[in-house]
Structure 1
């Protein structure tokens, strides 16, 4: 009886050991892949997972539930802050991030996944009915199609969304095949006619890399 029990235990150990080893190897491979992801790749992957959420509160309560909160959350990492050390009087989060990108020489014209994307005049921030609001919106580039159409993730009205922009045809909503090239970022206004498409409101891209890190 004892001999049979011992034999079963040995066989069971032989069967479990390979499975446990495979699980450890899979976990190690996942950790290695995550460690090898660049800051931009990781931010794009994070933002993609949040598309469809009605609020960033489903992810964290530590950031503002707005467009700048989304990019800060996507890039969250020790010793990394998208905002400058000091903000200027009356300066919004989007303008502050843009100013830091400018100071780091991180602005660029051609986008890559994970880049920040800035927009101006997406709403009447000061409510004076004029186009004098400057930088008002920000998102994270998710991917770039061969035809130049940029898909980006942003926190807008209604929650976290995925939208498109094509800088080759910034004023065109759809192409000849009916495919969306530029999504609307600004609401229709009764008293004024303003550009509303993403390509028309585009202000710039910025790459977040090691230059944004600070010393521990």
Structure 2
């Protein structure tokens, strides 16, 4: 009995000093990234992606159209081309390395007819919706041979700059008052304007007892810039 009394305190002492078992620890959450650092990386990626984008290359036609637009109101005297409609389109196409009269002209042939012949030979002529840089031809815009008869064929041309939503074609040409923009809408061939907007500009003045003519009335066709 005495021995039991001595052993009991000893056992309680041993049990009381046993090391405590550590509680299981949950998964450690990674430290949240700062918004500032994340934002900086996004900006860096966006900047890098912009740098990697290849530059937009303009088509031949758009380059020609831009060149023609820069000549509006300018004199053609410094460009070594005639100061007329053929000179304007030649100057515009020379900017992309194309001389529209490199094939020359036939006896008695005017420059407009010669360029039209080139377009026909290369398969460039069309009557579809034009694109910037395409040529636009007109017939009988003046009495070239002065015989009082409308038998002069192709007498005028210009460069297409743009096509508006309603189908109105904006073209650059050398008219009687210099290099300018004019409009033509083939949907309304005999209509000058609509709702305060110009659909067709006059391209032949009244003479010889005939009224002035609109661009759409004397339209002769287009020539694709990509095939000239």
Q: TM-score range by the shorter chain?
A: 0.7 to 0.9
Residues 77/44 of structure 1: CA separation in 2 closer, same or farther (3 Å cut):
closer
Residues 153/125 of structure 1: CA separation in 2 closer, same or farther (3 Å cut):
same
> Which residue of 201, 214, 218 corresponds with 1:197?
214
Write the distance in 2 (CA, Å) between the matches of 1:78 and 1:140: 14
- Superposed, which structure 2 residues align to 1:50-65 within 5 Å? 50-53=71-74, 55-57=75-77, 60-65=78-83
TM-score by length of 2: 0.72
- Superposed, which structure 2 residues align to 1:35-54 within 5 Å? 36-53=57-74
Residues 172/92 of structure 1: CA separation in 2 closer, same or farther (3 Å cut):
same
- Larger mean CA deviation between 75-84 and 144-153 belongs to 75-84
Conserved 8 A contact 2:64-2:95:
no
- Superposed, which structure 2 residues align to 1:11-22 within 5 Å? none
> Which structure: larger Rg?
2
| TM-fit CA distance, 1:178 | 2.1
Q: Alignment RMSD, CA only?
A: 2.2
| TM-fit CA distance, 1:86 | 3.6
User: RCO (CA 8 Å, sep 6+): is it higher in 1 or 2?
Assistant: 1
Write the distance in 1 (CA, Å) between the matches of 2:173 and 2:153: 18
5+ residue gaps, structure 1, are: 1-25
TM-score by length of 1: 0.76
